[in-house]
Structure formats: structure tokens, C-alpha cells
Amino acid sequence: MTKTWVTPGGVHPPENKHQSVTMPIGHLPIPEKLLVQLSQHIGAPAKPCVTIGQMVLKGQKIAEAVGAVSVPMHAPTSGTINAIEDRPIAHSSGMSGPCIEITTDGKDLWIDHESLADYENASPKALLQIISEAGIAGMGGAGFPSAIKLNPGDRRPINTLIINATECEPYITADDSAIRERSAEIVEGIHILSRILGNPGKILIGIEDNKPEAIEALRPHVADTGISVVSFPTKYPSGGEKQLIYILTGQELPSATLPADAGMVCVNIGTTYAVKRAVVNGEPLISRVTTVTGDACGVNRNYETLIGTPVRHLLEHNEFNRDACSRLIMGGPMMGFSLSSADVPIVKTTNCILVPSYAEIPDDEPSQPCIRCGLCAEACPASLLPQQLFWYAQANDHDRLEAHNLFDCIECGACSYVCPSNIPLVQHYRHSKGDIVKARQEKVVSDHARSRFEFRKQRMELAEQEKEAKRIARREASEKAKASAGKKTAPLDASSGNAAPASSSAADIIAAAQARAVSKQVSPEQQQAKFERSIAGAEMRVQMAAEKVAEVDDSQTEEQKNTLNAALEGAKQKLGQAQTRLAEHLEQHKELNEEQVK
Amino acid sequence: MIETIAQQPMLAALIAMVGLGLLFGALLGYAAEKFKVQGDPIVEQIDALLPQTQCGQCGHPGCRPYAESIGKGGEINKCPPGGQATINAIASLLDVPAPELDAEHGEEADVKTVAYIREDECIGCTKCIQACPVDAILGAAKLMHTVIMSECTGCDLCVEPCPVDCIDMLPVEDGIKQWHWPAPEKVADLIATDRTTQEASL
């Protein structure tokens, strides 16, 4: 028996897991249409690489990863691309997002795919490449691209691999049933992960003790492999990454650090199965186990569901009773979100579709004032102060919210669950988190605007200064011209004491102006080159004009001939002019040189 | 010398005190020069709170001049783009009661807008380019202009100078990336003393 640690807080809501594990994992008929959402993971949405009307085969890549943090999408079955457009997607906002719709052909034809049974000898880099290409994103919660998580870099050696089989949220049994039926493949997936991470010393499978069948199913496969199955008392939320790490290792991760910083990687058990299928069978992630449960469905069961299956399809095949359903939830009752439409597709992170009756999850009761009972603080698994956070959230006091570590809240909902006043605490925190993130983004934008504004101001001042300088220069030049004109008409008496400073300052101005004029002048060599160039150009034009005159035949009118002749004459004149200019220049230059020599 | 001082404790104390006074005075004087604060730190802080739209609705040519006027004791409720949130933030920074937004300078907009040039109609007069406080408009004389949307602060200043009225202020629609959870509905206070309405105070 491995030692486990006990996390603070936590709650024990009714588990309601038994309904959906009475039958093995089922398969549904292929729906007529599949809707593959392009953003099913954390990071940039994938970019479609198919066109409307194109035939695709099962497992064919239909959208490519964009940038480093992204995953590609694959066709879940064979069919035709019907549309690439915005549709309502699986998102808590209920908004639309880019999707690819496939009209299925029912043949379910696979594209050619290669298996790699010999993963023991494959390099970790090659394995990571396969995982990345297979479009695998964490299937437990947020959907972080697995290839990135499994590649923490050389600076952070991994000594512990934790497999998260906790599945602590009520109703959900997707992982439980997958372990019961596919434990051999899951353990194979763990071996692959272990190979990628450089065989970490400790491999732990964390599982709650309410899944004895799953634990028993795993045991024979992990014997003598160095993998230990660790079961611990059931409590919600034990499946949070930081919580599970504490339960299994006793190590608390500081705020804003990743498990990799502490030499650990935590992977959902559903992901290990996907990794095995990708590496050993060469199949990309195109389906997952999803629980369909709740009293509003006649049948509660787990299904191997194609990614992109509309929720409606799942409900229709499970004796869904619309009138009995209080709400349609994707995910579990604690952390899931309500869907506004049943046309939303199943995505890579959808572990459960919950359709509770009014008796199971009644409508929200109006919240009442906080009575300072402190139950929320006792329930908080992150040891925060939910009451204080609640006040500050109501007051929009971002500084104090951050000082009270709002961002360590895992939004598990335990505080809202225990609140006797029905205060939607976790909703307040989510809202405040969003507000703070938005304020931070706005701050970046406004800082940028400030720097641009200041740059513009500086630029305009500079332009103004330049203008002013030019104006002064012009004034000086005109004064100088006036002064020189004055000199000619009335020469200044150099001997007179009063005039001396004036004349010297005038002389200064003249000298400065001459210096400017000289600096503006091009050197004689450059001028000579310029004249030579113009001669060459003129010669060419003469030649061309002469050619044209020579080409003249009888078909052309007299007028045309005359113009051509005139053009030739003109060109000859220009050449002559250029030649004289060069000759003059050379003459001048010679004189200048002689003067200098003298 | 030492003997004289030892015999006259009064004088000794006096010299010691004056000496210390001079020493620390010199130290303070040096520190005041060495660690002199450039500019007005409060203006920096106020400027950091302003939305930096540079729209001039407050009557000052930009956010920084407005911050400077507040620093000199001016009103803090002249910024419509920042709205009540900015007023509250400045009020809490300066530790003064937060006034309501002065309607004379405009109303707080519900949605962020950006300028959009109808490019077919643009005659290339560059008047909007000169008006833009953040250089967010691209173009040259007699060539079509366009607004760099990510740089536009939505200040409105380019709309007025346009001789052909081809600039629209369009609202920026929040996409799924900008979305965040809305605030839970606020329920009526059930406890009488929590209420601030007339009814409760009766």
C-alpha cells in the first residue's frame, strides 16, 4: 500500500456513477453529418486543409496545426466535406466558431496508416512527432496539446510520471469504463509515455477507491513493470492536477508553476489510450469515450463516440425525454457548462453529456446574503478564502482579488456546492478572472497607444525644429545677399571702429554661406561623370533616331518622315550641347586646378 | 584644545551639535541632488490609469496633458472613454471622493469602436492621417488610406476632418477569444439594513 496524502477541503457530492457502467462501452451508428470544431484545444485553432466537396477518408487530416501550440484535426469517418463555416461550438459562451462539416458516406473507409509496433526502439522525438501529428490534446480537461506537455525540455528532467485516472466528478465514468475494458492498451500507452520522458523513476496511476473494478483490471498489467496503481479515498476534487500531485507525492506546487518545474508530468488516462492507438495502430485521435447519463435519458451508457458527433445524435439513441430534462450539460455537474443547442459537436475533451431531470439538478434558487458560516473556506481545495474573494469580486477590486490568489482557484465549484445561501461563488470568481485578464490586455493595448502617441509627438517636434532651422538658414542667406548687395553700392569703411564688428559679422555670414554652398556643390569629378553620361545618352538617342529614319519606307506619309527627321536633328543638337558643356566644364576645371597649383 | 573643551562641557556640546547638524545637512543636500525625482511621479501614475485613446474629449491634447492637469488639482471626471472605472481608479489613487462623469465632455461608450475608411470613397487628402494621434492611418497624398485596426484607439478625431465623410466608427465585436463569463445576476438584498433604497430607510 503506497502512502497517500490528504488534500485540504473537498466535498462528497452524490456520485451517481453506477447508472452508466452497467453496460460495456457501446458504439453508435455513424451520424449523417459530423461537425469537426477547429478549436478543440488550448492554443491556436487549426487551419482547414481541405476544400468543400472534397472526398475524405477516415483518419485523413482535414485541418493543420497553426504555430507551436496547436493540434491538427482528422476526418472521423469517410465522407464529403460539406461546409467550412462558423457554427455553434462546444464552448461555455454558446458562441459560434469555425467548423468543418462532413457528410458521411457510411462506408467508414480508413486512409492508409502505418503502425509502429516497435516503439521500444523508436526515438522519443519520433514518438512525439507521431503524437503531434495524431492531433492528441489532453482528454481530461482543458485540452492542452500533449506533444508539448510531453516535451518539457532538457532543463527540466522528469522523474515522476503521473497518470490521472481519478475521475472525481460525479456521473462521469468514461475513464472508469475505458480502464475496465482496455487496461492492456492503456498500460502500453503508459510505456510509450515513459519512453518519451526518458523512463522516469516513478510511474504512478492515481485512482479513487470508488472504482475497484478498474483497479483490479489494471493490476495484472502493471505487475513487474515499475508502474504502481495508487488508490486513495474518494473526494471531489481530487482529480485537479495540483491536488492529485499532492495526494500522490505530498508535494505542493507553488502558485503559477507547472508540474514539469518539479520534475513531474501528469497525463489523463484517456490520453494514454489515444497515445497507444496513435503510435502502435497509427490511428489519429478521431473518437473518444463519452458518458451519456442523467435521468432524462432512458439509457445511461458509455459510447466510443466519433469526434464531431452532434450531441443530438447521442441523445436520440438513448431514449432522451426532452420534457424531463432540466438542462443540457457538457462535462460533469460540477465543472461542466450548459449547452444552448443540441447541435453542438462532441470534441476531444468531452467526457460526458449530462441530461439531468429536475429532481437531480433543480433550477438555481435565488441566492441569499452571505451569513459568514465559513463552509466555503472549509471546502476550498486550494486553501483560499472564498468569502473574502466574494466581497472583492462584488466590488471589482482587482488588486485585492489578486492579492488573495484568485488565480489559484481551480473553479471546482466546491464552494458554491456547500454554500447554504446558494451564492454562485464560483461564477463570481470566473467572472472576475475574465475581468482581470481583460484589464491586463487593455493595459497592454493602452501602453502601446501611449508609446505611439509619444513617438508621434516627438516626431512632430523634430519636424518643427527642422523647419525652424531651415527658416533661419533662409533668413541668413537673404541677409547675406542683402549685405553683399550693400557692399557693392556703399563699401563699408573698414577703418571706422563702429562698422568693424558689423562687417566682421557680415563676413562671417558670407563665409558660412559659402561653406554651405561648397558643401552642396558636387565635386568636379562627379560633374564630369554626369556630363559624360549625358553625352552617352544623347549619342544613343541620335543612333536610335538615325535607325528609325533609315527604316522609313514608302508606306509612311510625308508628315511622319518629317517628324522622324526632326527628331534626329533634335537629338544631334542635344548631343552637340552636351559635348560643349563637357568641354566648358573641363576648361573651367583646368583653370581651377591651375589656380590651386599657383 | 581638548583640555579646553573638556573643561567647558557647554561649548563641547554646542560644537558637537553644530558639527552633527552641518554633517547631516550636507548629507541631505547631497542626497536631494543625487536622488532627485525627475518629473511629477503622481502624473505618471495618473497617466498609467488613463485609457490612452488620446481623443482630447477632456479638452486637453492627449492623455498625458490631462494627467498633468489632474496633477495640478484639475477635475478628474472629464474622461468619457475611461468612464466611471477610470474615475474611480484615479479617485482611489488620489484619495478623493469619486465624482460622476462630467456629461459636458461626452458620454461613456458601451462598446469599443474603431475607425473604418470606406476605401472606394477616399480621395487621398491625408487630413485624417494628420489628425490621428497614434499614427494608425496608413496612406499618402492622392492614394487610398486605410486604418490599422489593431492600432486604432477609437478616438473619433479622424472623422471630423474627412472632407468626403468616408470614415465610419464601427463597433468592435467581441469574438470567442474576448468572451469571458458574465457576472452572476445580482439578487435583491433580502436583509432590510442592506438596502439603500427609500423604502428601506423608512
* Average pLDDT, 10 consecutive residues per value, chain A (598 residues): 87 91 92 90 88 93 89 93 91 88 91 82 89 89 86 84 93 93 93 90 92 92 89 92 93 88 92 93 92 91 94 92 90 91 92 92 86 94 94 90 93 93 93 92 90 92 95 94 76 46 62 67 72 84 81 67 81 84 78 62
Instruction: Match 564630369 to its residue by C-alpha cell.
Output: A528
Span A20-56, pLDDT tens digits: 999 999 999 999 999 999 988 888 889 999 999 999 9
Residue A525 amino acid letter? E
Binary contact (A453, B54; C-beta < 8 A):
yes
Do B87 and B55 share a structural domain?
A: yes
Helix (H) or strand (E) holding B7: helix B2-7
Binary contact (B62, A433; C-beta < 8 A):
no
Terminal Cα-to-Cα distance of chain A (whole angstroms):
110
Number of domains in chain B: 2
Q: Among the three residues B82, B105, B128, which one is the final residue of a domain in this structure?
A: B105
Give the B-side interface with A, CB within 8 Å.
47, 50-54, 62-64, 133-136, 151, 153, 175-176, 178-184, 187, 189-191, 194
CA distance readout (Å), A257 to A193, A201, A242, A263, A345: 22, 22, 10, 11, 33
Do B97 and B119 share a structural domain?
A: no
d(CA A394, CA A407): 16
d(CA A528, CA A536): 12
d(CA A329, CA A45): 23
pLDDT value for A518: 61
d(CA A425, CA B184): 9
- A431 by DSSP, 3-state: which? helix
Span B55-95, pLDDT tens digits: 888 889 889 899 999 988 888 888 888 888 889 889 988 99
Do B145 and B101 share a structural domain?
A: no
pLDDT value for A244: 94
- A255 by DSSP, 3-state: which? coil
Angle at A369 between CA A367 and CA A370, to 5 degrees: 110
In this complex, the residue of A434, A453, A455 whose CB is nearest that of residue B181 is A434
Binary contact (A428, B51; C-beta < 8 A):
no
A14 shares contact with chain B (CB less than 8 Å): no
Distance from CA of A452 to the nearest CA of B (A): 5
Range of the domain at B101: 41-105
Do B164 and B116 share a structural domain?
A: yes
Do B93 and B52 share a structural domain?
A: yes
pLDDT value for A143: 85
Closest to B122 measured CA to CA, from B170, B168, B171, B167 = B167
pLDDT value for A267: 93
Binary contact (A446, B52; C-beta < 8 A):
yes
Give domain status of residue B71, yes or no: yes
Do B98 and B69 share a structural domain?
A: yes
Do B169 and B132 share a structural domain?
A: yes
**Is the distance from CB of A37 to CB of A89 less than 8 angstroms?**
yes
Give domain status of residue B13, yes or no: no
Closest to A369 measured CA to CA, from A432, A430, A433, A419 = A419
Claim: this prediction has a pTM higher than 0.90: no
A142 shares contact with chain B (CB less than 8 Å): no
d(CA A108, CA A78): 5
Distance from CA of A339 to the nearest CA of B (A): 14
Residue B25 amino acid letter? G
DSSP string, A151-169: ---TTS---EEEEE----S
Taking the CA atoms of A561, A563, A566 and A567 in sequence, report the sign of the dihedral they define: negative
Do B92 and B120 share a structural domain?
A: no
Residue A400 amino acid letter? R
Binary contact (A428, B183; C-beta < 8 A):
yes
Residue A16 amino acid letter? N
Ranges of beta strands (E only) in B11-153 are: 113-117, 137-138, 146-147
Distance from CA of B47 to the nearest CA of A (A): 9
A438 shares contact with chain B (CB less than 8 Å): yes
Q: Strands of A287-293's sheet, edge to edge? A: A26-27, A301-306, A287-293, A352-354, A329-330, A337-338
pLDDT value for A255: 87
Q: Which residue of A has its CA nearest to B131?
A: A456
Q: Strand pairing of A202-208 and A160-164?
A: parallel
Q: Among the three residues B62, B87, B105, which one is the final residue of a domain in this structure?
A: B105
Angle at A392 between CA A388 and CA A398, to 5 degrees: 130
pLDDT value for A493: 47
Do B101 and B136 share a structural domain?
A: no
Do B92 and B47 share a structural domain?
A: yes
Instruction: Match 452532434 to its residue by C-alpha cell.
Output: A310
Give domain status of residue B9, yes or no: no
d(CA B153, CA A15): 51
In this complex, the residue of A424, A442, A454 whose CB is nearest that of residue B184 is A424
Residues 6 or more apart whose Cβ sits within 8 Å of residue A189: A271, A272, A273, A274, A275, A276, A279
Q: Which residue of A has its CA nearest to B193?
A: A369
pLDDT value for A496: 45
Binary contact (B176, A455; C-beta < 8 A):
no
Give domain status of residue B24, yes or no: no
Residue B80 sits in a domain whose CATH number is: 1.10.15.40
Q: Among the three residues B68, B83, B105, which one is the final residue of a domain in this structure?
A: B105
User: Which chain B residues touch A437 with a CB distance below 8 Å?
Assistant: 180
pLDDT less than 50: residues of chain B: 198-202
User: Which chain A residues touch B133 with a CB distance below 8 Å?
Assistant: 453, 456
**Is the distance from CB of A90 to CB of A73 less than 8 angstroms?**
no
Give domain status of residue B27, yes or no: no
